[in-house]
Structure 1
Amino acid sequence: MTSFMTENTIKNIDMNYIFNEVRPITEYGIKKKREAKPFRKGQEADLKKEFNKIRAFIESPRRRDIIDVLKHIKNIYETLERTKHNQVLDEVELFEIKNFQIQTEKMEKYLKTLSIDDLKLTPIPQLYKLLDPANERMNTFYIYDDYSEKLKSIRDEKKAAEKNIGVLKKAIKEEVEKKYGIKLNLKDEITISKSEQEKAEEFSNDANLRICGENYLNIIFKIKNNSEIDELEKRMEILKNEEDDEEFKVRQKISKEIKGYYDLIMSNINIIGETDYLIARANFAQKTRSVEPEIVHELEITIKSGRNLKLEKSLKEKRKEYMPIDVSLRKNVACITGANMGGKTVSLRMIGQIAALAGYGMFVPCEYAKLCLFDHIFISVGDDQSIEKGLSTFGAEIVNLKEALEYSAERCLILIDELAGGTNPKEGYAITKAVVKYLKSKSCITVLTTHYDNVANDEDVQNLQVAGLTLPDSDDLFKINNIEQISKYMDYRLIEVKYKNDIPKDAIKIARMAGIPEEVINDAENYL
């Protein structure tokens, strides 16, 4: 385990689900989320600043305005890199830069209202002026005449030539229409049937007409340029090439000047990305009714009404109620005992999820939380068996345990579900007892669930017990006969208990509620 969390831990506490639900708008915000690093021990003050920013966006009346701006911000990474490598931008790319400047100016005004020191954009009015020399303040880009006197001269001559060509063609068109009593279409064309041989021959001999197309029925005639028009069109072609050359020089100059602002633009991109990611977390906090956790230096986790977000959503879709859990971990090792289906694994995952959320600078799904930061978070649950690696359930548990113990001297959160449950009970108990003894002196918090008696019979080990089943009347009990109904009678709360020789045994009760024959139930009770 060389990172904050292994892939297995990320999966088991549903962090991928959560990060998928945190949705920045821009490519810059998505990049910030993808590159997010956890806050670790020693970074408590930095995390507090991060929480202050999220809270500022939650409380800001300008959040909706900023979101509207973010929706109009496009990815200009590639465009900027082209300028950095002295490549000439085209008009679309120059428009992208201009649009980015427009949106940056808008956002800069909104961010000022939040007064967050390290979330301040740098206005670049000289860059905007470069891209809008005519000061039109429009969300478009054009290579204005203002950029070059030569360009203006070329365009003026082009316009004059176009106008002259238009006048000459109009005169020819009117002459042809008057001569033959016809009406040419908008393309200066007329179509006649081949059966009109006399008219076709007359049109063919006219100096102002030429054949531009025909089929087996018709011939299409079009007005013909005279020598003056031909000369003007040749000049137009030359002017067009000169205009393209001059526009290229203008774009080359603008691109070079944009390169000079590369660092400032990248700094603004970074702030926009951070703003986007902060707002995404603020939105997620409100959507999930999450709160700002209190971050402490001491080894502690206290959670009031904690919820596992993915499970809560799943239950809601099934129209089932989620029971929040309180937990206060004050010792290095805590054992959670209780029957299967008592929610022990859910509690482990909830603890890991809340600790990871806080570590990644996010509000947490509960009414209140106070916890420390961890260098590593680790969870091992019973379904970690790896068929591909040829490991049994117990083998996979031991591999996971080895990874956790290697880092137990650091500030870790270690969550273990049913340690050694996949081997024989005597050895399983011995291993579990030994692991508890080893971890209780380490500078980490360990929470493990177990079915083994006497694991927590140590004053240095905290013993938490699932409240368990609250059974209905015996007559109603026999009518249930459906394991799906058990959740109605299960109290998932964790209650701190003093040392007991035996852990709760609700398995027989669950078997009875599921409809197992009473003869089997009675024998099981006798054996117990």
Structure 2
Amino acid sequence: MKSKAEPKLPGEEEELRKELREVSSLSKALKTYPDVFSKLDSVLSTLKDPFHAIILLKEEKVLTAPEIFVLAHLAFSVGRIRSAMAESQVEWPERTVPPSLEDVHKKLLPGFAGQPVFYIADSYSPDLSRVRAERKAKEKIWRDEMTKEAAEVERVLGRRPGIREEIAIRKTNVQAVEQARLMPELGETRETLTHVHFRLKATREALRLEREIDRLRQRETLLEGEVLRSLSADLREWKDELEKAAWALGELDYLLRKAELAARWDAREPVINRDAGPLVLEGAFHPVVREEVEGRGGKYQPVSLTIDSPVSVVTGPNMGGKTVSLATVGLCVSLAQWGFLPPCSRLEFSLYDYVYFQPETPGKPGLSSFAAEVVALKDLLARIDERGLILLDEVGRGTNPSQGLALYAAVLDYLRLNAGEGSRVLASTHYHGLASQLNVPHWQVAGLTPGDGDLEEGDASGGKDIDWLYRHMDYRLVKVGPDTPVPQDALMVAKILGLDGEIIRRAEEFVAGTGPCGFRRDEPC
């Protein structure tokens, strides 16, 4: 089912609204009919992929017993699904309701009311039933014959061999070995350094029965082949219904998973604008990151921001959550365009032709990280005329800082002037002056608050661990103006994590311009 899923693109706003309404409606129904949804999940979780068998039917091939079983299970499951659906007042989307396969069920499972079995039943063919009954009767007579021999061996040797198992007699027990060799019921099979091994020897009657049983098994195999050919021919008449049912169950399963996520996230339907407009996010969170943060005992802080300009910049320290914020924005928009209710309390946006997210770029063979960034940017610029949501994370960090800043500024300015109508660029950076240089909106991670008693306590204790820092970092995004002072979070983080105080003091001098020669702005070396 997922292989057929596609995101909705500009011009498909109404189709997406309808799809998201279905998800929203179903997520609410989950609370009203929990038993119904539990039954549906129980059936769907046991489904086998039927499409290979359906393709073989279309090609007029003879199905094997396992392939017949898969289709029998599909017919059985459709009956249970339709029954569970009827127990609720939910208006199921037409594409999720499978057609009845009752006739298929009756054909493949004659007389079966429970779960289908992996077996060509006797009820498929009277001849098959007769041959199997005869084989089983002769197998019983054969076992009885061999059991008599085993009983005689036990009487003489005091040990009872299994019908198809060896018995081992120690060579030191010379008398028992000789007795065994003289018994017509036993045949010697092998000899080791310490033991002589024997097995029951079939009597003339047992050998005759074995030949009869082999003949019946061959006949049984031929009759099973006839049953498979007959069933395959019958199933070809229902191949279209089988395929429709399989796709319907796939659609149902996909929709249920969307509804479950929406209920788990307490997600809302987004506002989708047909024309290019602002991207508004409130209370957005990244489910994986939130689970990780809360698992460490921390409190996750959701992301809220409004992107109403072609380019916006996000600044903040390392570990300040810039990358997570970008990923959260991209995730919410992408999920919405794929028909999922996004993990946020509010999303208003226009559909994009693509979502581009470039976090820290892994190096490619023969390329530095900076070269890999440049190659990725070329791929992005190839779609410059389309409407895109472009999320850039610290472009240029892998090269000379001044040139990296210049390149980043040039890329953002180029996108601001040339990106397709309605495109939105959100770019994270360490460079605090980048937003004012480009005269674009500036969002800043709130970060650590100087003077916080908890922070002072952390400093006095000689350093805290990373988890402590995660718990005290404020990851919210705050819109700031051009005169906002540069945050000193880097030195504060180093201090809190217990870096040597002398190093911190000297770093503060360098920042203030009072450090040694080579760092002061007003004093030449």
Letter in 2 for 1:465: Q
Residue number in structure 1 paired with 2:460: 479
Once residues 462 and 310 of structure 1 are traced to their aligned partners in structure 2, the CA distance between those partners, rounded to angstroms, is 28
Residue number in structure 2 paired with 1:524: 511
Are 2:79 and 1:98 equivalent residues in the alignment?
no
Once residues 227 and 271 of structure 2 are traced to their aligned partners in structure 1, the CA distance between those partners, rounded to angstroms, is 56
Are 2:284 and 1:306 equivalent residues in the alignment?
yes
Q: Secondary structure at the match of 2:96?
A: coil
Shift of 1:507: 4.8
Shift of 1:70: 1.6
User: Could you tell me the TM-score, scaled by structure 1's length?
Assistant: 0.73
Letter in 1 for 2:305: V
Aligned mate of 1:336, from 314, 317, 334: 314
Residue number in structure 2 paired with 1:5: none
Q: Structure 1, residues 365-411: CA drift from partner, whole Å, max 9, x if none?
A: 22222222211111234x32626333353x44433333323323211
Residue number in structure 1 paired with 2:245: 268
Q: In 2 relative to 1, CA 148–434 (structure 1 residues): closer, same or farther, beyond 3 Å? A: closer
Structure 1: stretches of 5+ with no match in the other structure: 1-31, 177-183, 205-209
Once residues 96 and 67 of structure 1 are traced to their aligned partners in structure 2, the CA distance between those partners, rounded to angstroms, is 18
Shift of 1:317: 3.0
Quick check: 2:317–2:490 contact (8 Å CA) kept in 1? no
Quick check: 1:308–1:353 contact (8 Å CA) kept in 2? yes
Letter in 1 for 2:456: D
Residue number in structure 2 paired with 1:250: 227
Quick check: 1:337–1:503 contact (8 Å CA) kept in 2? no
Quick check: 1:307–1:365 contact (8 Å CA) kept in 2? yes
Are 2:74 and 1:111 equivalent residues in the alignment?
no
Correspondences of 1:195-234 after superposition (within 5 Å): 211-213=185-187
Q: Which has the higher contact order (CA 8 A, sep 6+)?
A: 1
Letter in 2 for 1:496: K
CA RMSD of aligned residues (A): 4.7
Once residues 77 and 385 of structure 1 are traced to their aligned partners in structure 2, the CA distance between those partners, rounded to angstroms, is 38
Quick check: 2:5–2:338 contact (8 Å CA) kept in 1? yes
Q: Secondary structure at the match of 1:121?
A: coil
Once residues 488 and 69 of structure 2 are traced to their aligned partners in structure 1, the CA distance between those partners, rounded to angstroms, is 69
Q: Structure 1, residues 308-365: CA drift from partner, whole Å, max 9, x if none?
A: 2333233223322222121111222222244555433332222112112222222222
Are 2:296 and 1:296 equivalent residues in the alignment?
no
Residue number in structure 2 paired with 1:316: 294
Are 2:391 and 1:415 equivalent residues in the alignment?
yes
Q: Secondary structure at the match of 1:53?
A: helix
Q: In 2 relative to 1, CA 125–452 (structure 1 residues): closer, same or farther, beyond 3 Å? A: same
Aligned mate of 1:438, from 396, 417, 435: 417
Correspondences of 1:11-410 after superposition (within 5 Å): 32-34=1-3, 36-58=5-27, 59-60=29-30, 61=34, 62-112=36-86, 113=88, 114=90, 115-134=92-111, 139-140=116-117, 143=120, 147-148=124-125, 150-151=127-128, 211-213=185-187, 241-298=218-275, 299-381=277-359, 383-384=360-361, 386=363, 388-391=365-368, 393=370, 395-410=371-386
Shift of 1:122: 1.0
Once residues 33 and 360 of structure 1 are traced to their aligned partners in structure 2, the CA distance between those partners, rounded to angstroms, is 11
Equivalences, count: 477
Structure 2: stretches of 5+ with no match in the other structure: 153-159, 168-172, 190-194, 514-519
User: Could you tell me the TM-score, scaled by structure 2's length?
Assistant: 0.73
Shift of 1:431: 1.9
Residue number in structure 1 paired with 2:156: none
Q: Secondary structure at the match of 1:331?
A: coil
Q: Structure 1, residues 180-207: CA drift from partner, whole Å, max 9, x if none?
A: xxxx9997xxx9x9989xx99xx99xxx
Q: In 2 relative to 1, CA 85–142 (structure 1 residues): closer, same or farther, beyond 3 Å? A: same
Q: Structure 1, residues 414-455: CA drift from partner, whole Å, max 9, x if none?
A: 112334454426734752563364257743011123425263
Residue number in structure 2 paired with 1:179: none
Q: In 2 relative to 1, CA 97–470 (structure 1 residues): closer, same or farther, beyond 3 Å? A: same
Residue number in structure 2 paired with 1:493: 476
Q: Secondary structure at the match of 1:492?
A: strand
Letter in 1 for 2:426: V
Shift of 1:119: 0.8
Q: Secondary structure at the match of 2:441?
A: strand
Once residues 139 and 475 of structure 2 are traced to their aligned partners in structure 1, the CA distance between those partners, rounded to angstroms, is 84
Residue number in structure 2 paired with 1:453: 433
Q: In 2 relative to 1, CA 435–506 (structure 1 residues): closer, same or farther, beyond 3 Å? A: farther
Residue number in structure 2 paired with 1:465: 444
Once residues 131 and 506 of structure 2 are traced to their aligned partners in structure 1, the CA distance between those partners, rounded to angstroms, is 103
Q: Structure 1, residues 236-289: CA drift from partner, whole Å, max 9, x if none?
A: 766554444333222211122123322321221122222222223333344445
Letter in 2 for 1:367: S
Once residues 406 and 186 of structure 1 are traced to their aligned partners in structure 2, the CA distance between those partners, rounded to angstroms, is 76
My pick for the range that moved more, 84-93 or 231-240, is 231-240
Q: In 2 relative to 1, CA 424–480 (structure 1 residues): closer, same or farther, beyond 3 Å? A: farther
Quick check: 2:311–2:412 contact (8 Å CA) kept in 1? no
Q: In 2 relative to 1, CA 519–245 (structure 1 residues): closer, same or farther, beyond 3 Å? A: closer
Once residues 512 and 280 of structure 2 are traced to their aligned partners in structure 1, the CA distance between those partners, rounded to angstroms, is 38
Q: Percent identity?
A: 24
Residue number in structure 2 paired with 1:504: 486
Quick check: 2:285–2:343 contact (8 Å CA) kept in 1? yes
Once residues 145 and 510 of structure 2 are traced to their aligned partners in structure 1, the CA distance between those partners, rounded to angstroms, is 110
Q: In 2 relative to 1, CA 480–225 (structure 1 residues): closer, same or farther, beyond 3 Å? A: closer
